[in-house]
Amino acid sequence: MSSAPMVVANGLVKTVTTYEGALTILDDISLEVAAGESLAIVGASGSGKSTLLGILAGLDLPSQGSVSLNGHLLTSLDEEGRAKVRAENVGFIFQSFQLLPGLTALENVLLPLELHGASNARNAAADFLGRVGLSQRLHHYPQQLSGGEQQRVAIARAFASHPRVLFADEPTGNLDSTTGGRIIELLFELNRELGTTLVLITHEERLAQRCLRRIELAGGRLVEAHS
Amino acid sequence: MLALRLLWRNWRSGEVKLLAAALLLAVAVVSGIAIFTDRLQHTLVQESNALLGADKVVRGSHPHDPVWEEEAARAGLRHTTATHFASMIYAGEHMHLASVKAVGEGYPLRGQLETSTTAFATRPDQIDIAAGIPAPGEAWADSRLLPLLHLQLGDRVAVGEYELRITRVLIREPDSGNPFSFMGARLLMNEADLPLTQVVQPGSRVQYQWLLAGDTAAVDNFAAMLETRFDAHQQLVDIGSNQRGLGRTLNTGQRFLLLAAVIGVLLAGVALALAARQFANRHVDQVALLKSLGTGSGRIRRLYFTQLMVLALVASLAGLLVGELLQRTVAAALLQAYQIRLDGPTLYPYLISLASGIICLLFFALPALWFLPYVPPMKILRRELAVNGLQLWLQVALAFLAVLILVLLFSQDLPLALSVIGALTGVFAITGLLAFGLLRLSQRLAGGAGSVWRLAVANLQRRREQTLVQIVVFATAIMLLLSLTIIRTSLLDDWQAQLPEDAPNHFLVNIPPHEVDAIQKLIETRHYQHQPLYPMVRGRLTHINGVELSATSVAREGVFNREANLTWTDTLADDNQVVDGAWWPEWQSQHGLPGVSVEAEMAEQAGLKPGDWLTFSLGGLSLEAEIASLRTLDWRSMRPNFFFIFAPGTLDDYSPTYITSLHLPAADKVFINDLLRTYPAILVIELDRIIGQIRTIVNQVSNGVQLVLWLTLAGGCLVLLAAVTSSIEARKQEIGLLRALGSPRRLMLGSVWLEFSMLGLLAGIIAVLGAEILLAGLQYWVLETPIKPHVLYWFAGPLLSAGLIGVLGVLSCRSAVNTPPAIVLREAG
């Protein structure tokens, strides 16, 4: 484990207003994730995992507390500033893959590279799809791919822009056990190879165990932390 | 460029096709109509100007300033002169008070002179188009002048102090409706001979005309400049001031076309708004993903805006091309069917069409997409997060603003724009309320019905908001289509009714009192349709309530500035209607003066009302009369119509001549010759060509109307399709789920069919109601035709609407019902 922290959260509180009054989703959460480290966030449904992931990744702001990512204090930046930090540092993998249905596998991977203005983007995207075993599926649309294949495309898309931190929201949640296993292998293999910091939410014990560290949320509070 | 790549990918996946189609249609409708109308208008003005002999004429009691000629030449205009006067001409012992016209080189500037070597020639092979004007020393004579003066071609006639040789018979000429032509048979001579006749002396009654022709804008500018230099004895004449009937038909036609264009654009606009909404909803996830990948709001706005503008440009250009092809097709059909060649269009309609494309995009599509850059990035993780779109009322308000701008752009007519907006607002409000009420009613009625019914009604209720929007959209589209169909039918009927096959096509003027009985008998033995013979005296209005006319504001306006035909009658023609005051014998004079009935529009122009007293000059004698009534009349009826009708007996002392109109079948044209040989004093005004021209115009406009109706129908179908497909995604998932749970295919299709048919029926009922309201408004304020209900459509509208929308619904959902549920669910998920 490297010593320099990649993600630092201090005293995070998130409250939302509902019809029945204010609801606290996250309550005083502080944590650090070192560069190159892998962290699993576990907990029951509704425990606040997705909200925490969103805040750590700069997709949302906490009601109180601060977050910094690769030295950028996200809570002091506006949306445009946070977008810039995300563009330079962050990759995502989602439970429901979030591939754009109108784009082929190659174009889905190409999208972040094009947004970042990467040179030789097409070759890089094709190369990453090859690394996840989909070199024969470049021009297939998401609908023509199985769930596992779709998630591989999503992994290729996430790693293609060489993010420093990869946030994954239940990456194996929509997959069967065998396929899920293969996806986990792929994820950690690329993580190792590229030295990416990994923060993921999971229900799956197998996946949580592969991480260097895990924390558990219950009712919006940090109840357990394991190394 | 990334935006273009994204646009191409969106296009390939079909997400922007509906958007592009709606935009293309909007521009195609507008450009088709605008270009066609533009060409039509130019052609009609040219054709009409042929009747005048020029684009514009400066008329005066003294010649024009010669300095103007140089200026006209500098402005690129052609010009010539025509001098009208009445003169007694002699051939041996015979004489006749002829209507002489001395013309300069180049006359006429528009239209042509038709001559023959045979008097009363009717066969085309006997008639030539003259290449010029009579040579000096020569003259061309009206057919009837030959029997009147016992002349042959080659004989000489004396005009004042000079003798001219008759070399041709003049069959037709422009400007034959000039009041100066009413005086006697025409003699056309060369202007160079005019001084030699010594007829025109200081104080002679002469009308000098300076004719102008050229590029429309140049003529207009030059004429406007000239008008500022006119003295009290000069005036500008163009076809608008001469041809009232023609102008009105054309005006109604153009207003209809304009209205149809606006309705077409409105429909395409609604389709565009729906398509944009669908596009925006589909792109919420894409924007959330782009944001999670670090794309800022500004860049997202630029990406989407660029895509939209490029799409708009391409679709507008394609729409322009389609519009151009459409109007060319109609123009080609016109050429083939009626041998009418339309003039080329100007640049304006092309620009206005492109502008409408942009306006449609900005006001109909952009508001629906406005929220996209504001989609929170967290939406990617929490799909239930609400996204605030632009308020619906604001989107509707913007759409209304667009309609206002578009109508103003086309018509520059604020009342028209406001009446369209007013009608639409009313219809929207009523539609919303009625749809809500009918929806509740259907729920109550479905309580005891079978499962197909219950499922269909339950679906309608559950998606109440979406259902209401759909009903409003369906109802609006069907309402607009119904209105347009009804207006078109009644407009065409109206035109046909105005000009029936047996409409009078010849006027007989100048009938001496002692020939009235004989002529009436002659017409009756031939069984021609004819009007009564009206006595007629020419007179000039000189005072209003004792104030000299020259001191009033209307002194130089139209009829006030010239001699008018005065008549008297005890029975009102059936196209005349008293709108104020009383018709004799009910009328009682307040001042003990004879009564006169005045045409209402003219009365309004001069602020005249019953009880006012007018002074006329009739051949130097003065006559005072009191206004008994104001009367509306139909100038399009082709019957003798009068601005002033006196009580019977009032004009007995003023030696009247008589006037009538009759319908002469084309084959009996030779009757005129027989008539004129026997009664050479009579002047015959041939209106058959003008009527033919009006028919041509009606045909042209009708063709345009037909084209426009098809285009708007296409727009309407696009709206329906957009509205049906907007709910299909959610529906597919439900159908998959219900199929997975074992619902039979028939139940699913049956309920979809019933649901959409019910929607269609409700929308149809509302549409019929809305259409009646809209039509009443349009007929009253815009088209000025009588308001009447259209009972047939009350039944046909809802049934057709139910059928059409039911079928569209089933067709859109059929694939979801027929495909295995697992696949449907996977695709929808």
Would you place residue B282 in the very low, low, confident or very high pLDDT band (cuts 50, 70, 90)? Answer: confident
Contact of B825 with chain A, judged by CB distance below 8 Å, is answered with no
Give bridge partners of residue B58 from the DSSP assignment: B210, B236
Report the pLDDT value the prediction gives residue B654, as an integer from 0 to 100: 81
Does B289 sit within 8 Å of A83, measured CB to CB? no
Burial class (CB in 10 A: 0-12, 13-18, 19+), B302: middle
Q: How many CB atoms lie within 10 A of CB B60?
A: 19
Does A80 sit within 8 Å of B298, measured CB to CB? yes
Helix extents (H) in B53-160: 67-74, 145-149
In the stretch 92-131 of chain A, residues with CB closer than 8 A to chain B read 92, 94, 98, 100-103, 107, 111-112, 114-116
pLDDT at B15 over 80: no
pLDDT in tens, B556-573: 566 676 778 888 888 888
Contact of B122 with chain A, judged by CB distance below 8 Å, is answered with no
Does B15 sit within 8 Å of A102, measured CB to CB? yes
pLDDT at B169 over 90: yes
Specify the 3-state DSSP secondary structure of B829.
Answer: coil
CB pairs under 8 A between A and B: 80
Report the pLDDT value the prediction gives residue B74, as an integer from 0 to 100: 92
A115 CB neighbours in chain B (<8 A) are 2, 290, 293-295
Report the pLDDT value the prediction gives residue B700, as an integer from 0 to 100: 65
Which residue of chain A comes nearest to B824, CA vs CA?
Answer: A143
Q: Give yes or no for a contact between B342 and B39, defined as CB atoms under 8 angstroms apart.
A: yes
pLDDT in tens, B691-741: 666 666 666 666 666 666 776 677 777 777 777 776 676 677 777 777 777
Contact of A77 with chain B, judged by CB distance below 8 Å, is answered with no
Report the pLDDT value the prediction gives residue A1, as an integer from 0 to 100: 44
Query: What φ, ψ does residue B338 adopt, rounded to 5°?
Result: -125, 10
Q: Which of B71-80, B600-609, B765-774 has the highest mean pLDDT?
A: B71-80
d(CA B504, CA B245): 14
Burial class (CB in 10 A: 0-12, 13-18, 19+), B466: middle
Report the pLDDT value the prediction gives residue A181, as an integer from 0 to 100: 84
pLDDT in tens, B188-229: 999 999 999 988 877 677 889 999 998 888 888 999 898 888
Report the pLDDT value the prediction gives residue A186, as an integer from 0 to 100: 84
pLDDT at B380 over 90: no
pLDDT in tens, A114-167: 888 888 889 999 998 998 888 899 999 988 898 889 988 998 998 888 899 999
Say which residue, B70 or B637, is predicted with more confidence: B70
The mean-pLDDT minimum among A111-120, B17-26, B261-270, B331-340 falls in B331-340
Residue A142's domain comprises: 5-226
Q: Is the dihedral of CA B348, B350, B356, B359 positive or negative?
A: negative
Report the pLDDT value the prediction gives residue B554, as an integer from 0 to 100: 66
Q: Give yes or no for a contact between B672 and B684, defined as CB atoms under 8 angstroms apart.
A: yes
Would you place residue B789 in the very low, low, confident or very high pLDDT band (cuts 50, 70, 90)? Answer: confident
d(CA B56, CA B238): 5
d(CA B202, CA A76): 97
d(CA A143, CA A99): 10
Contact of B382 with chain A, judged by CB distance below 8 Å, is answered with yes
- Least Cα separation, residue B292 to chain A (angstroms): 7
In the stretch 22-51 of chain A, residues with CB closer than 8 A to chain B read 50-51
Report the pLDDT value the prediction gives residue B566, as an integer from 0 to 100: 86
Residue extents of the structural domains in chain B: 1-53+244-412, 56-237, 415-500+687-829, 506-686
pLDDT in tens, B490-540: 767 766 666 677 778 888 888 888 888 988 888 888 888 777 888 888 888
Report the pLDDT value the prediction gives residue B436, as an integer from 0 to 100: 75
Contact of B732 with chain A, judged by CB distance below 8 Å, is answered with no
Q: Which of B117-131, B402-416, B811-825 has the highest mean pLDDT?
A: B117-131
Contact of A53 with chain B, judged by CB distance below 8 Å, is answered with yes
Contact of B295 with chain A, judged by CB distance below 8 Å, is answered with yes
Contact of B294 with chain A, judged by CB distance below 8 Å, is answered with yes
Does B381 sit within 8 Å of A169, measured CB to CB? yes
pLDDT in tens, B60-91: 888 899 999 999 999 999 999 999 888 889 99
Specify the 3-state DSSP secondary structure of A11.
Answer: strand
Report the pLDDT value the prediction gives residue B182, as an integer from 0 to 100: 56
Average pLDDT of span B600-607: 84
Structure tokens at B754: 């019933």
Report the pLDDT value the prediction gives residue B212, as an integer from 0 to 100: 93
Q: Give yes or no for a contact between B204 and B85, defined as CB atoms under 8 angstroms apart.
A: yes
**Pick among B7, B293, B297, B380 to test the A interface (most A CBs inside 10 A):** B293
The mean-pLDDT minimum among A33-47, A206-220, B723-737, B757-771 falls in B723-737
Report the mean per-residue pLDDT for chain B.
Answer: 80
Contact of B822 with chain A, judged by CB distance below 8 Å, is answered with no
- Least Cα separation, residue A38 to chain B (angstroms): 20
pLDDT in tens, A162-219: 899 999 998 888 788 888 888 888 888 888 888 899 999 988 888 888 899 999 999 8
Q: What percent of chain B has pLDDT over 70?
A: 84
In this complex, which of B2, B10, B376 lies closest to A102 when CB atoms are compared?
Answer: B10
Q: Give yes or no for a contact between B550 and B626, defined as CB atoms under 8 angstroms apart.
A: no
Structure tokens at B709: 């109706």
Looking up tokens 């006119």, which residue turns up? B230
Query: What φ, ψ does residue B329 adopt, rounded to 5°?
Result: -60, -45
Q: What percent of chain B has pLDDT over 90?
A: 13
pLDDT at B393 over 60: yes
B286 CB neighbours in chain A (<8 A) are 100
**Pick among B12, B292, B295, B819 to test the A interface (most A CBs inside 10 A):** B292
Concatenated DSSP letters of B649-702 = TTTGGG--EEEEEE---GGGTHHHHHHHHH-TT-EEEE-HHHHHHHHHHHHHHH
Report the pLDDT value the prediction gives residue A105, as an integer from 0 to 100: 93
User: What are the angstrom distances between the C-alpha of B32 and each of B311, B420, B464, B709?
Assistant: 20, 21, 38, 12
Q: Give yes or no for a contact between B368 and B276, defined as CB atoms under 8 angstroms apart.
A: yes
In this complex, which of A84, A98, A114 lies closest to B380 when CB atoms are compared?
Answer: A98
Would you place residue A2 in the very low, low, confident or very high pLDDT band (cuts 50, 70, 90)? Answer: very low
Which residue of chain B comes nearest to A80, CA vs CA?
Answer: B296
Does A94 sit within 8 Å of B381, measured CB to CB? yes
Say which residue, B425 or B151, is predicted with more confidence: B151
pLDDT at B828 over 60: no
Report the pLDDT value the prediction gives residue A63, as an integer from 0 to 100: 93
Number of domains chain A is built from: 1
d(CA B201, CA B218): 35
- Least Cα separation, residue B776 to chain A (angstroms): 48
Structure tokens at B447: 């309580």
CATH of the domain at A218: 3.40.50.300
Which residue of chain A comes nearest to B826, CA vs CA?
Answer: A143
Structure tokens at B2: 């990334």
User: What are the angstrom distances between the C-alpha of B782 and each of A56, B256, B485?
Assistant: 64, 9, 16
Contact of B386 with chain A, judged by CB distance below 8 Å, is answered with no
Supply the Cα-derived Rg of chain B in whole angstroms.
34
Structure tokens at B429: 């409000």
Report the pLDDT value the prediction gives residue B401, as an integer from 0 to 100: 85
pLDDT in tens, A10-20: 999 999 888 78
Report the pLDDT value the prediction gives residue B36, as an integer from 0 to 100: 79
Burial class (CB in 10 A: 0-12, 13-18, 19+), A62: buried
Contact of A90 with chain B, judged by CB distance below 8 Å, is answered with yes
Q: Give yes or no for a contact between A169 and A55, defined as CB atoms under 8 angstroms apart.
A: no
Does B2 sit within 8 Å of A115, measured CB to CB? yes
In this complex, which of A53, A79, A102 lies closest to B297 when CB atoms are compared?
Answer: A79
Does A101 sit within 8 Å of B13, measured CB to CB? yes
Q: How many CB atoms lie within 10 A of CB B685?
A: 17
Query: What φ, ψ does residue B129 adopt, rounded to 5°?
Result: -90, 125
d(CA B725, CA B808): 9
Burial class (CB in 10 A: 0-12, 13-18, 19+), B412: exposed
Which residue of chain B comes nearest to A113, CA vs CA?
Answer: B293
pLDDT at A52 over 60: yes
Contact of A210 with chain B, judged by CB distance below 8 Å, is answered with no
Contact of B823 with chain A, judged by CB distance below 8 Å, is answered with no
Average pLDDT of span A47-56: 91
pLDDT at B648 over 80: yes
Report the pLDDT value the prediction gives residue A40, as an integer from 0 to 100: 92
The mean-pLDDT minimum among A139-143, B2-6, B407-411, B760-764 falls in B407-411
